[in-house]
Structure 1
């Protein structure tokens, strides 16, 4: 007893140490940076993005901003325009982080500093207008914090941040009502700091306030006079060359304005300036400086709790149905009369035959009628027992089902690991690109589980070409995903967008897949097929298959399969609203409530299992033993609902413009639904397989 308590105490101690470690582990690979007075603070520029399109652009690829001069600042060995090394996740999400020419020193305020004067041609002016019209915002980074636009709530009680700042704004002429576009060319940078006991200062806030100031208001030194006063904005407009337009439209009384297609060498001068101010902020600690980026989402906590309550209600109702089924099969039919069910039918048949021979008396005939009615009732309750010789018959296309289940298990371990690490705080927005990078690593490592489950299931099906099954498992789903991404990349490349994956990264992904993941799948498949035994089935399969009677509509039609996906989709629906909003509508925000998402995901897996048990039991009671593929489709059926929701969301909530952006939306939505369907389908299949093995293991049939 004393030894047991000692072991428990040691386990709890290790658990508490682990919890305290994960709490302190705030930013993986990034430590607190303390600055001294006048120490240089690097300002990095990243990209521009919009909630109305899926195309992003590197900041220094824009023709209307100041190009990097190449000079080094603050003693840095790297000059401006130097690319910062990025992890895989950052590259895949379109980040292109580079050093800039902004000179910022801790504690040193700068009233105004000229950056450069850029000349923009007609075509560039036209494109800049389009970017402003589509609501593009720019992202800068200082001390790993994205530059933010500051907002306050309606009652002015709370402040929150939105990542990035707008490139410009749109206004309408009071004379003719036409749209006019203005470019922000002055940036007021506010850095909030606080002192720390260890010495030095830490940055707890990074705010950017853009402003548009026309070129005529700038002095010779580059800075405007009274920079913080009201100025007329810098309009993106180059007067048309009427003489050339008249040459293009001879004899016409209407001369159209230049739309940017004519290149006559005319340019627009854009002077860029910036100001820097430091504000002491003692109300924010370094480890919770990201809270302001999330404060505008606090109101959604109530909705998250309602989502969990809704999910628990649906799962609870289905759980009662599963409990009734389990009671009738394992505890009722098996323990009570299940073992003799087939013998009763045989005895009943023998009596009927004797009745036909005239060997039964009148009392026996009456008892036979009662027994016959009892058998009819038993047939309704335990018709699934008639399938004992067919329920484990190898399904059609088993060579495809095993790889799909293996890939589903690979995705299951990857998603579980991501949700666990995110809930513990290891993966957070400050770990830029960490979610995608770690997810890719987990997916590759989980190739071991993919190969194991695929190989062992393939052996259970009686397959002999296990190496062929291994190749299908290792190449099928990853190959389709890689091919789709490569084709999409061609479209994005044509738009010169930073969303396009660089060719070198594509080669690296191909190497990770073929040189690491495929061998891991092979090792797992070898162990699952060669070193372990096939899963044993409690009943033997007969040589002649039973004839399946006519089936109800909900067991053999597409509508029946879709019907089973309604319950899991209802569990996930409310949380999908938040996920979609952060993915497609509010790219400047961050999805951070992974605790709620993990809870809903757990309930979702339970619900999928419950729905699959109910559907499989109904199918067996209808004397249909083709449950292998049906259980997989039942588990994955909610993916069709999710994809339908994607279409509805695109039509009624998004304002995506352009063919490429629409193509990216539907392609990525299809890929995400395929991943979701593989995962839930695998959960449904394994649940049905476990359920059937359990109920038939207690049935004894002579």
Structure 2
């Protein structure tokens, strides 16, 4: 066991080093002399409103140089859909060019039709110059307001690169299309075209260290900050109202219950108990499907740890704008390294519930989140392969991920499970459980599981709704989100509101003499994930311009996995809060 643990520690260290390597810039110092070659890579092209539907740059019939080389990319860059390859433009340091021909090409009818199709879909291209991103559109459409069929389509054949430098560093680059160099591609006909470009270097006083600041300014504009702060105020008001409700009403009710039960004990010993005290012999009766519940708690705890580590990296500045693939690399590596948390939590809790088949519980824990994610990935990767999109992962990347799961995730899960099995912790129940369960009295419909989940999920969702829009616009659009401090505050408020609303509903459930609170508290806590997925429908159809089978599949498929992760994580938070509350109130009374 010691040798195996040592090997796992070494592998974990290598993964951490790999993660760090994936989230920093190239090893060079990015300093150049006049005339030095500065790398320019063409990345991808795709419809502007479909961020997941991207293709290789040379999938379009641009000029294709014969000696192109693909850039070796890190794991996160491949997961992000980046496929960098040498661009046909040479932008040497401090060398201006008025106009230089890249190539002269005769477009066939099929190629003209291809270009017209992508111009109709508003295709853009993305490149990287010295690790700085730049964009441009493939062409433009001149619409006829009276008759859309009379619209004209034009292809940009000339790109002007406006580059700013400070001493020996590249600080900023912009790509502009020359409106005077358009080629009419409205009709299917052969066209002789000459692709060209020009370069203009301009000195600036912006320091090299701040060259990425311009990409985060959009999320830091005063009008956006006002909306973000309004979101925080809205969330704080929601949290304060809920906590105020608990402190003034729920605690007062509990105090009255404690006084009443104490008075009943002193006055009449054989007086019939009512309310939540009446079910003290059943409230800690272990639930059905306890192996599944333990697996849910283990997976939710791991996802909570994953979220905390991601926030730590974000707050220290790792995820700066266009640090390609940093987030995806961190997600893969941290999820692998935290699998031991899931194994330990699930197995130790399973043994507290007097479970016996801990191996099955451990396998269930390992597959509970990874299983649906893997099936979703298989389907979406197949769709991406059918579209020949860059979102389709190469076989080598799939092998790397499989090796990470096999050599790191699963062994750490097993080690965590063994540690949880050997922890020998017992379930701390303040009262004894009776031999035979009491029958739950008939309750009104609004006290059933579904209405309770709806009430439990609405308040936490309302606390994060405004911030969700910016997250969606960043993940499924072209906005940049960098205000991680505000996002972290909203996340903390989400946890607080989820915990408090679950505690309140648990009290009302026990007061109605319904002792089946275990699964109910987990479902109520996790119901916010269902509201988030419902918001996906609204965002897709009302707030975005996404379209097409591939983009729709990617949006709803991966958002289903994300919302499922939120369901497990927040369900765990709600269950833990309810468990602490139930233990506290039954510890505070005297039960025979």
Fold match, TM over 0.5?
Answer: yes
- In 1: Cα distance, 2:48 partner to 2:432 partner: 59
Q: Matched residues in 2 for 1:274 and 1:411: separation?
A: 48
- Which residue pairs with 2:31 in the alignment? 34
What are the within-5 Å matches in structure 2 for residues 106-117 of structure 1?
A: 106-117=93-104
Deviations, residues 460-489 of structure 1 (Å, cap 9, x unaligned): 111011111111111232022111111111
SS in 2 for 1:565: helix
In the superposition, relative to structure 1, how do residues 535 and 308 fare at CA in structure 2: closer, same or farther (>3 Å)? same
Does the residue aligned with 1:137 lie in a helix, a strand or coil? strand
Q: Which runs of structure 2 are paired with 1:282-431 in the superposition (5 Å)?
A: 282=205, 284-297=206-219, 298=221, 299-324=223-248, 327-328=251-252, 333-334=257-258, 336=259, 338-339=261-262, 341-342=264-265, 344=267, 346-348=269-271, 379=274, 383-431=275-323
CA distance in 2, matches of 1:344, 1:470: 51
Structure 1 stretches of 4+ with a deviation exceeding 6 A read 173-177
> Could you list the per-position Cα deviations for residues 388-415 of structure 1 after superposition, in whole angstroms to 9, with x for gaps in the alignment?
1111111111111111111111111111
Q: Does residue 506 of the first structure (1) align with residue 430 of the second (2)?
A: no
* Residues 466 and 235 of structure 1, relative CA distance in 2, 3 Å threshold: same
Match of 2:492 among 580, 602, 624: 602
> Alpha carbons of 1:51 and 1:568: their partners in 2 closer, same or farther (altered >3 Å)?
farther
Q: Which has the larger radius of gyration?
A: 1
Say which is worse superposed, 115-124 or 166-175, in terms of deviation: 166-175
Pick the aligned partner of 1:277 from 194, 200, 209.
200
Match of 1:136 in 2: 123
* 1:540 CA displacement: 1.6
| Count, aligned residues | 567
User: For residues 92 and 130 of structure 2, what CA distance do their matches in structure 1 show?
Assistant: 13
The answer to whether the aligner puts 1:188 opposite 2:160 as a matched pair is yes
1:672 alignment partner, one of 551, 559, 562: 562
Rounded Cα–Cα distance in structure 2 between residues aligned with 1:88 and 1:659: 26
What is the alpha-carbon distance in structure 1 between the residues aligned to residue 486 and residue 170 of structure 2?
30
Provide closer, same or farther for how the CA distance between residues 669 and 296 of structure 1 changes in structure 2, counting only shifts above 3 A: same
In angstroms, what is the RMSD of aligned CA positions? 2.2
TM-score (norm 1): 0.77
1:430 CA drift (Å)? 4.0
The alignment's TM-score, normalised by the length of structure 2, stands at: 0.91
* 2:173 alignment partner in structure 1: 206
CA 1:487/1:318 → structure 2, altered by over 3 Å: closer, same or farther?
Answer: same
The answer as to whether partners of 2:250 and 2:504 remain within 8 angstroms in 1 is: no
Of 236, 243, 246, the match for 2:185: 236
SS of structure 2 residue aligned to 1:117: strand
Q: Within 5 A, what are the aligned runs for 1:4-43?
A: 27=24, 32-43=29-40
Mark the runs of 5 or more structure 1 residues left unpaired by the alignment: 1-25, 71-80, 148-163, 196-200, 213-229, 241-266, 350-374
Gaps of 5+ in 2: 1-22
**8 Å CA contact retained: 1:63, 1:120:** no
1:641 partnered with 2:568 = no
Instruction: Report the Cα offset of residue 56 of structure 1.
Output: 3.4
Query: Structure 1 599/30 Cα, relative in aligned 2: closer, same or farther at 3 Å?
Result: farther
Map 1:302-701 → 2, pairs under 5 A: 302-324=226-248, 327-328=251-252, 333-334=257-258, 336=259, 338-339=261-262, 341-342=264-265, 344=267, 346-348=269-271, 379=274, 383-584=275-476, 586-587=477-478, 589-701=479-591
Tell me if structure 2 keeps the 8 A contact 1:36–1:106: yes
Query: Does structure 2 retain, via aligned residues, the 8 Å contact 1:390–1:545?
Result: yes
Check 1:174–1:548 CA distance in 2 against 1; reply closer, same or farther (3 A cut). closer
Match of 1:48 in 2: 45
Please give the alpha-carbon distance, in whole angstroms, between the structure 1 residues aligned to 2:107 and 2:145.
Answer: 26
| Bigger mean CA offset, 480-489 vs 512-521 | 512-521
Per the alignment, residue 167 of structure 1 pairs with: 138
* Alignment check: 8 A CA contact 1:64 1:118 kept: no
Distance 1:61 1:389, change over 3 A: same
1:245 corresponds to: none
Per mean C-alpha deviation after superposition, the further-off stretch among 514-523 and 458-467 is: 514-523
